[in-house]
Structure 1
């Protein structure tokens, strides 16, 4: 059963207005990620994926990450829309976060703009910002969306959201 969307204020967007299947869009935003007191990526080459009930997932060029920040991680997963994903371990400032990022090496049709890009779980980093605003991670261990003040839910991953 679909929950009641939260009210949308000026300058906000509801995840319940996002499409399914998801939409990919380039955005004029700056993303900074810090781990172990080290900036591991700082870029304005940003693409986001919008999917009903999920906060945006930000995809950044693999080439924008600091040398050695991304190393091949264990496992894989599959998205019915984007295809097969593989994981990265993320390192920075003497810290290591296993399986904290993922990529689609051969994205499915319609998601080709994700090729050569990586998304990072905000919950595993010391700091993630979008335009200098700190993000909150999407609830739940599976999900990788980033919540900023202009995004309203409720969000998939919250308690009771399994059936959405």
Structure 2
């Protein structure tokens, strides 16, 4: 399947079609705040993001930054050809639980070692996710975990018809 035509890039924006494949990990100078059930379950400025062609950035936060009891081991696993084998977490906050709403790579492949003690969270499963004070929109699809902000343009993988991108 052919790649779609990239959306126009405005001032201060970046296109996901300029992101690399294989993906790149980079430190971000922003604060991430996630709320579930009215409780802030993580608030940290220790943030890295993974950039991959056609995907909005996926943000990884330190396991240790999550509130006590906010993460418990969930069911299942998956694999990424670049990052390795992922495990899932159930996310808890404000008396609510979201099964398999976060994941990490406990033994990541070469080049992704910085992700070993970090967790990514599906924004659509939370009450609110912010990066740099901006409310994020979740990436479409029930597998992808990118966070969409106004400074990133697509089109983004995960929409209907994007399986072959």
Per the normalisation by structure 1, the TM-score is: 0.99
Q: Deviation above 4 Å: which 4+ runs of structure 1?
A: none
Q: Deviations over 1:118-160 (max 9, x none)?
A: 0000000000001111000000001000000000000000121
Gaps of 5+ in 2: none
Find the counterpart in structure 2 of residue 57 from structure 1. 58
Give the count of matched residue pairs: 164
Find the counterpart in structure 2 of residue 85 from structure 1. 86
Residue range with higher mean Cα deviation, 154-163 or 90-99? 154-163
Q: Deviations over 1:2-52 (max 9, x none)?
A: 100000000000000000000000010100000000000000000000000
Alignment partner of 1:102 is 2:103 = yes
Q: Deviations over 1:43-78 (max 9, x none)?
A: 000000000000000000000000000000000000
Supply the distance in 1 between the matched residues of 2:116 and 2:163 (Cα, whole angstroms).
Answer: 30
Tell me, what secondary structure is at the counterpart of 1:66?
Answer: coil
Supply the distance in 2 between the matched residues of 1:49 and 1:132 (Cα, whole angstroms).
Answer: 19
Per the normalisation by structure 2, the TM-score is: 0.99
Supply the distance in 2 between the matched residues of 1:61 and 1:156 (Cα, whole angstroms).
Answer: 26
Find the counterpart in structure 2 of residue 126 from structure 1. 127
* CA apart distance, 1:82: 0.2
Supply the distance in 1 between the matched residues of 2:107 and 2:159 (Cα, whole angstroms).
Answer: 30
* CA apart distance, 1:162: 1.2
Supply the distance in 2 between the matched residues of 1:102 and 1:159 (Cα, whole angstroms).
Answer: 24
RMSD: 0.4
Find the counterpart in structure 2 of residue 139 from structure 1. 140
* CA apart distance, 1:163: 1.5
